[in-house]
Amino acid sequence: MSKRGILAIISGFSGAGKGTIVGELVKKYGYAISISATTRSPREGEEEGVNYFFKSREAFEEMIDREEFIEYAQYVGNYYGTPKSYVMQQLDAGRDVLLEIEMQGALKVKEKFPEVTLIFITPPNVSELRRRLEGRGTETQEVIDQRIARAKEECAYMQKYDYIVVNDQLEACVEEMHALLQSLHCARNNQRDFIDDIIAGFRDI
Amino acid sequence: MSKRGILAIISGFSGAGKGTIVGELVKKYGYAISISATTRSPREGEEEGVNYFFKSREAFEEMIDREEFIEYAQYVGNYYGTPKSYVMQQLDAGRDVLLEIEMQGALKVKEKFPEVTLIFITPPNVSELRRRLEGRGTETQEVIDQRIARAKEECAYMQKYDYIVVNDQLEACVEEMHALLQSLHCARNNQRDFIDDIIAGFRDI
């Protein structure tokens, strides 16, 4: 097992349950999640370094110039980004880190950091996706249809992900995710230091 | 989870404990192992289709010509090979199959069947490898030195394997292997049918 933490990106359709799964993984197994930086103002109760790192537009753009983000995007006039330093600190300390990022962003991160593992969470089928979106009871039919239409576009991205995990029953899915994430410690890319040690160990024989 | 079985090749240094681990995985979790074909004569108690498929030299060479082996090699004047048909039957029936193959053979299989997963089992370090080989008490110092020398050559292969699993404590290693093998059902290459189903499910929306 590598001593360094592993970095995994979690994506999936709206309604796939990825937020709940990530929450359970943090609570039950102590995974770290990244804290985003943003230029939007803190809402009541939000704390610096807990919910977000709050930045001025100027400071955020300086961070962009210094390539201090794993990824960033603009959304409704504000910047949101994943600062590299926080994630690297966690990984160096041996903590496994989960990033919840939408698909286009996820693929960009994978290009820059090929050692990242991409995990796609999906309901077992399309009718179950619709049932879950409708079951929330909080959105209009129009919003639900928009989400389904977006998922239809997004499903092509599944083929670029390293792992496709089906969220059929929440508890089973959390256990499956944990087993999958732990097995990544044995993946070649995460065992480079160990391989070097073994090769060095043979050198004097 | 894919319904089809997954195919994994297990290799490792002599003394790494891979035979014991594969045996435990079969006994505890019902993994299938391939049955080899060979041209050597059956030893007392060996049964056709249980220990080996026994073949004449002529029949074996016809199978080679018809490309009916996943891999084969000659050893001390006899052929040994892994027949494709048996492995495919097991995979189609949804059983996960483990093949114990030495490294050069394993890499050849990976070239022909990229969907195969290569797993390398190793003791935690070189002195532990030596300790285990000496601890058996059944081999001369010369044989032990030969095995260490061979392992020294083989350690370069680790970099070509998909996963490096450290066998420090047997029971923990068996559990780690099982979790790893099950997580492979979620790997993209083993989820192709599922991805196609999801894409097809969106088609009519």
pLDDT, tens only, B33-87: 988 999 999 999 999 988 899 999 999 999 999 999 999 999 889 999 999 999 9
Residue A132 belongs to domain spanning: 1-31+96-205
ipTM value, please give it: 0.85
Nearest alpha carbon to residue B184 among A155, A11, A157, A179:
A179
Q: Is the pLDDT of residue B1 over 90?
A: no
Residue with tokens 């059944």: B138
Chain B positions touching A151 (Cβ under 8 A) are 202
Please indicate if any CB of chain A lies within 8 Å of the CB of B180: yes
List strands edge to edge, sheet with B7-12. B32-33, B97-100, B7-12, B117-122, B163-166
**Residue B205 and residue A126: Cβ atoms within 8 Å?**
yes
Q: Is the pLDDT of residue A1 over 80?
A: no
Nearest alpha carbon to residue A101 among A122, A80, A86, A77:
A80
**Residue B125 and residue A156: Cβ atoms within 8 Å?**
no
Domain boundary among B45, B61, B95: B95
- In a mutagenesis test of the A interface, which of B195, B197, B203, B204 is the best target, namely the one with the most A β-carbons within 10 Å? B195
Please indicate if any CB of chain A lies within 8 Å of the CB of B172: no
Closest B-chain CA to A166: B1
Please indicate if any CB of chain A lies within 8 Å of the CB of B125: yes
Q: How confident is the model at residue B2 (pLDDT cuts 50, 70, 90)?
A: low
DSSP string, B143-155: HHHHHHHHHHHHG
Q: B102 and B86, same structural domain?
A: no
Helices (H), chain A: 18-29, 57-65, 84-92, 103-112, 126-135, 141-154, 170-183, 192-203
Please indicate if any CB of chain A lies within 8 Å of the CB of B175: no
User: What confidence score (pLDDT) does residue B96 get?
Assistant: 97
Q: Is the pLDDT of residue A204 over 80?
A: no
Q: B86 and B107, same structural domain?
A: no
CA-CA distances (angstroms) from residue A108 to A22, A102, B203? 21, 10, 27
Domain boundary among B62, B95, B128: B95
- Predicted structure pTM score: 0.87
Give yes or no for a contact between A43 and A132, defined as CB atoms under 8 angstroms apart.
no
Q: A101 and A120, same structural domain?
A: yes
**Residue B191 and residue A152: Cβ atoms within 8 Å?**
no
Domain boundary among A80, A95, A110: A95
Q: A125 and A54, same structural domain?
A: no
Q: A103 and A175, same structural domain?
A: yes
Q: How confident is the model at residue A2 (pLDDT cuts 50, 70, 90)?
A: low
Torsion of CA A87, A92, A97, A100, to 10 degrees: 20
**CB-count exposure of residue B101 (10 Å: 0-12, 13-18, 19+):** buried
The domain tally of chain B equals 2
Q: A108 and A88, same structural domain?
A: no
CATH code where residue B172 lies: 3.40.50.300
Neighbours of B55 (CB within 10 A): 19
Give yes or no for a contact between A7 and A192, defined as CB atoms under 8 angstroms apart.
no
Q: A184 and A124, same structural domain?
A: yes
The string of pLDDT tens digits covering residues A84-140 is: 999 999 999 999 999 999 898 899 999 988 989 999 999 999 999 999 988 877 788
